[in-house]
Structure 1
Amino acid sequence: MRPLKLVMHAFGPYAGIETIDFSELGSKTMFVISGKTGAGKTTIFDAIAFALYGKTSGEERSAQDLRSDFAEESLQTSVDFTFLLKGRTYRILRSPIQQKKKSRGEGYTTINAKAEFYERIDGEEQLIASNISETEDQVNRLMQLDFHQFKQILMIPQGEFRTLLTSDSTDKERILQKLFHTESYRYFQEYLKTKSKELRSDVERFSHERGRLYESIDPLDHEELEEALNQENIHAQKIHSLAKNLVATQNEKLNNLKNKITKQREEYKNVLIKIENALYIERTFKEYNQAVSDLKELDNHKEEIAKCKSDISIAKDAEVIWPYFQEISYKKEELARRIQFKDKTDKELSEMNKKRDQYEQSLQVLLKQKPEIEAKEKKVSELESFKAKAESYQLKSKELTNLASDGVREKEKLDKLKNELSENEDKIEKLLKEQQNWLEAQRTFSENKVKLHHVKTIINLFKKLNQYKTTEQQLKADLIQKEKNYSEAVENQKKEQLALDQALHEQSANFAIELSKQLTHDEPCPVCGSKHHPAPAVTGGDLKADPVVHHKNLQSLHSELIRLESACDYLKQKMEGIRTDIDGVSQDIQASEAFHDQKSLEDYQSSENQLENQQLLLSKKLNAGEPSAGREAFEQERSVIKKHIESAEVIVQKKRDDYISCRSQVTQLKSEIPEKYFNVSVLQEEIALLQESIRQYSNQMSEAEKKYYDAENESSALTERLKSAANEVTGAQVALDHAKQQFNTALENSGFSQPEDLKAARLEPQKLAGLENRVSQYEKKKYSLKEYMEKLSNDLKGVSKPDISIYHAEKEKIENDIAGFEEKVSTLSGFVHHHEQILLQLEQNISASEEIEKRYKLTGFLSEMANGQNELKLTFERFVLAYYLEDILIIANERLLKMTSGRYELHRKEDRSKGNKQGGLELLVMDHYTGQQRHVKTLSGGEAFKSSLALALGLADVVQSYAGGVSLETMFIDEGFGTLDPESLDQAIESLMDIQAGGRLVGVISHVPELKERIDARLEVFSSKGGSSTRFILE
Structure 2
Amino acid sequence: MRLHRLDLTAFGPFGGTQSVDFDALSQAGLFLLHGPTGAGKTSVLDAVCYALYGSVPGARQSGQGLTLRSDHAAAGTRTEVRLELTVAARRLEITRQPPWERPKKRGTGTTLDKAQTWLREYDPRAGAWKDLSRSHQEIGEEVTQLLGMSREQFCQVVLLPQGDFARFLRADAEARGKLLGRLFDTHRFAEVEKRLAERRRTTEARVRDGDAALLADAHRMQQAAGHAMELPALTPGEPGLAEAVLTAAAVARSTAREELTVAQSRLAAAEDAQADADRALADAREVARLQRRFAEAQERARALETRADAHRAAQARMERGRKAEAVAPALQLRDAAEAEHRRAAAAQARARDLLRDALGDDTRLKAVFDDGGAAGFAGAARRAAEELGGLESARRGELRLGELVGERDELDRQERADDDVRAEAETWLAGWEDTRTRLQTAIESAQGAAHRADQLAAQREPARQRLAAARLRDQLAGDTETAAARVAQAQEQALAAKAHWLDVRERRLSGIAAELAAQLQDGDACAVCGATEHPAPARKDAGHVDREAEERALAATRQAEERLAEAEQHLGVVREALAAATAEAGDLPTDRLAEAAEDVERQYAVARRDASALHAAHEELRRAEAEHERRTAARQQADVRAAARVGHRERLDREQAGLEAELTQARGTAASVTARATQLERQVALLTDAADTARAAEDTARRLKDADARLADAAFRAGFDTPRDAADALLDDATHRELQRRLDAWQSEESAVRAVLAEADTASAARRPPADLAAAERAAEAAARRTRDAASARDAAARRCTELDRLSTRAARAVRDLAPLRTEYERVARLAALAAGTSADNERRMRLESYVLAARLEQVAAAATVRLQRMSSGRYTLVHSDDRTGRGRSGLGLHVVDAWTGRERDTATLSGGETFFASLALALGLADVVTDEAGGVRLDTLFIDEGFGSLDDQTLDEVLDVLDSLRERDRSVGIVSHVPDLRRRIHAQLEVVKDRTGSVLRRRGH
Q: TM-score, length-normalised on structure 2? A: 0.69
Match of 2:926 in 1: 955
Contact 1:927 1:933 in 2 (8 A): yes
Partners of 2:757 and 2:997 lie apart in 1 by: 145
> Shift of residue 997 of structure 1?
3.6
State the AA in 2 paired with 1:52: L
- Give the drift of 1:25: 3.9
- Larger CA deviation: 646-655 vs 149-158: 646-655
Q: How does 1:66-105 map to 2 (within 5 A)?
A: 71=72, 78=79, 80-85=81-86, 86-94=89-97
In the alignment, what sits opposite 1:240?
246
Identity of aligned residues (%): 20
Distance across 1 between alignment mates of 2:594 and 2:620: 41
CA offsets 1:412-448 (integer angstroms, 9 cap, x no match): 5467567777878876654433332122112212333
Matched residue, 1:612: 601
Matched, 1:398 2:398: no
Report if aligned partners of 2:97, 2:115 keep a CA contact under 8 Å in 1: yes
User: Conserved in 2, the CA contact under 8 Å of 1:868 and 1:874?
Assistant: yes
Q: Which residue of the other structure, out of 457, 469, 478, is the alignment partner of 1:449?
A: 457
2-structure distance, mates of 1:69, 1:562: 53
Equivalent residue number for residue 174 of structure 1 = 178
Q: Deviations over 1:803-854 (max 9, x none)?
A: 9999999989977976775675466456545544542442243233323312
Aligned pair partner of 1:867 in 817, 831, 836: 836
Equivalent in 180, 203, 209 of residue 205 of structure 1: 209
In structure 2, C-alpha distance between the alignment counterparts of 1:866 and 1:886, rounded to whole Å: 20
- The 1:173–1:709 alpha-carbon spacing in structure 2 relative to 1, beyond 3 Å, is closer
Structure 2 contact 663–673 (Cα < 8 Å) conserved: no
- Quick check: 1:916 aligned with 2:887? yes
Residues 218-256 of structure 1 show CA distances to partners (whole Å, capped at 9, x for unaligned) of 599999985976899645235414422431232133123
Correspondent of 1:850 among 801, 816, 819: 819
Judging changes above 3 Å, is the alpha-carbon distance between structure 1 residues 553 and 982 closer, same or farther for their aligned structure 2 residues?
A: farther
1:664 Cα shift? 3.1
Structure-1 residue corresponding to 2:268? 262
Residue identity opposite 2:257 in structure 1: N
The 1-side partners of 2:62 and 2:369 are apart by: 125
Secondary structure of the equivalent of 1:92?
A: strand
SS of the counterpart of 1:1032? strand
Shift of 1:266: 1.4
Q: Could you tell me which amino acid in structure 1 is paired with residue 193 of structure 2?
A: Q
Q: Please, which of 937, 943, 952 is the counterpart of residue 972 of structure 1?
A: 943
* Structure 1 residue 450 displacement after superposition: 3.7
Separation (CA, whole Å) in 2 of partners of 1:222 and 1:855: 37
2:48 is matched by which residue type in structure 1?
A: I
Question: Secondary structure of 2:887's match?
Answer: coil
Q: In structure 1, what is the Cα distance between the partners aligned to 2:755 and 2:372?
A: 92
Deviation at 1:196, TM superposition (A): 1.3
Deviations 1:144-188 (A, max 9, x none): 432111113322122244444554432222112112222222222
Displacement of 1:258: 0.6
Contact kept in structure 1, 2:263 and 2:797, CA below 8 Å: no
Assess if the C-alpha contact under 8 Å between 1:73 and 1:100 holds in 2.
Answer: no
Q: 873, 877, 880: which one pairs with 2:849?
A: 877
**The residue matched to 1:1002 in structure 2 has which SS?**
strand
CA distance in 2, matches of 1:41, 1:705: 117
Q: Contact 1:11/1:77 (CA < 8 Å) preserved in 2?
A: no
Q: Is the 8 A contact 2:870 2:958 kept in 1?
A: yes
Classify the secondary structure of the residue corresponding to 1:611. helix
Cα 1:468–1:934 shift into 2, 3 Å: same
Whole-angstrom distance in 2 between the partners of 1:981 and 1:716: 148
1:376–1:690: 8 Å Cα contact kept in structure 2? no
Aligned residues of 1:363 and 1:704 also touching (Cα < 8 A):
no
Call closer, same or farther: CA 1:185–1:423 in 2, change over 3 Å: farther
Distance 1:68 1:805 in 2: 109
Distance 1:569 1:77, change over 3 A: farther
Residue 100 of structure 1 deviates from its aligned partner by: 11
Q: Secondary structure at the match of 1:155?
A: coil
Aligned-partner Cα distance in 1 for 2:682–2:388? 15
Q: Secondary structure at the match of 1:33?
A: strand
The 3-state SS of whatever aligns with 2:671 is helix
Matched, 1:663 2:667: no
> Partners in 2 of 1:396 and 1:459 — Cα distance?
88
Letter in 2 for 1:845: A
CA change 1:66–1:526 in 2 (3 A) is farther
Partner amino acid, structure 2, of 1:959: V
Gap runs ≥5 in structure 1: 327-357, 516-524, 531-535, 594-598, 737-764
Matched residue, 2:349: none
Matched ranges for 1:104-503 at <5 A: 114=115, 116-119=117-120, 136=140, 139-140=143-144, 143-215=147-219, 218=222, 226=230, 234=240, 236-270=242-276, 272-273=278-279, 391-410=399-418, 412-413=420-421, 429-475=437-483, 478=486
Structure ID, larger Rg: 1
Q: Return closer, same or farther for 1:633/1:874 CA change in 2, 3 Å cut-off.
A: farther
CA deviations on 1:569-603 (whole Å, 9 max, x unpaired) are 6556655665565565555554xx7xxxxx65444
- Native 8 Å contact 2:487 2:568 kept in 1: yes
Q: How does 1:554-953 map to 2 (within 5 A)?
A: 563=559, 567=563, 571=567, 574-575=570-571, 578=574, 582=578, 585-586=581-582, 588-590=584-586, 600-623=589-612, 626-627=615-616, 630=619, 634=623, 637=626, 642=629, 649=636, 653=640, 656-657=643-644, 659-661=646-648, 663-664=650-651, 666-667=653-654, 670=657, 674=661, 677=664, 685=671, 825=794, 828-829=797-798, 831-833=800-802, 835-869=804-838, 870-889=842-861, 891-893=863-865, 895=867, 906-911=878-883, 913-914=884-885, 916-919=887-890, 921-925=892-896, 934-937=905-908, 947-953=918-924
Q: Secondary structure at the match of 1:5?
A: strand
Q: 1:66 to 1:1004 in 2, by over 3 A?
A: farther
Shift of 1:568: 5.4
Offset, 1:193:
1.1
Q: Is the 8 A contact 1:493 1:554 kept in 2?
A: yes
The 3 A distance-change label for structure 1 pair 815 and 866 is same
Conservation of the 8 A alpha-carbon contact between 1:11 and 1:78: yes
Q: Go from structure 1 to structure 2 and tell me whether the alpha carbon gap of 1:1026 and 1:804 turns closer, same or farther (over 3 Å shift).
A: closer
User: How has the CA–CA distance of structure 1 residues 699 and 131 changed in structure 2, closer, same or farther, with 3 Å as cutoff?
Assistant: closer
Q: Secondary structure at the match of 1:80?
A: strand
Q: CA RMSD in A?
A: 6.6
CA separation of 1:230/1:498 partners in 2, compared to 1, >3 Å: closer, same or farther? same
Counterpart contact for 1:424–1:634, Cα < 8 Å: no
Q: Is the 8 A contact 2:2 2:941 kept in 1?
A: yes
**Amino acid in the other structure paired with 1:674:** A
User: Using the alignment, how far apart are the partners of 1:409 and 1:112 within structure 2?
Assistant: 54
Amino acid at match of 2:457: K
**Partner in structure 1 of residue 527 of structure 2:** none
Matches of 1:248 and 1:373, distance apart in 2: 119
CA distance in 2, matches of 1:20, 1:706: 111
The structure-2 alpha-carbon separation of the partners of 1:997 and 1:501, relative to structure 1 and needing over 3 Å to count, comes to closer
- Partner of 1:84, secondary structure, is strand
2:846–2:890 CA contact under 8 A, matched in 1 = yes
Closer, same or farther: CA 555–45 of 1 in aligned 2, 3 Å? farther
Q: Are 2:6 and 2:21, in contact at CA under 8 Å, matched by a contact in 1? A: yes
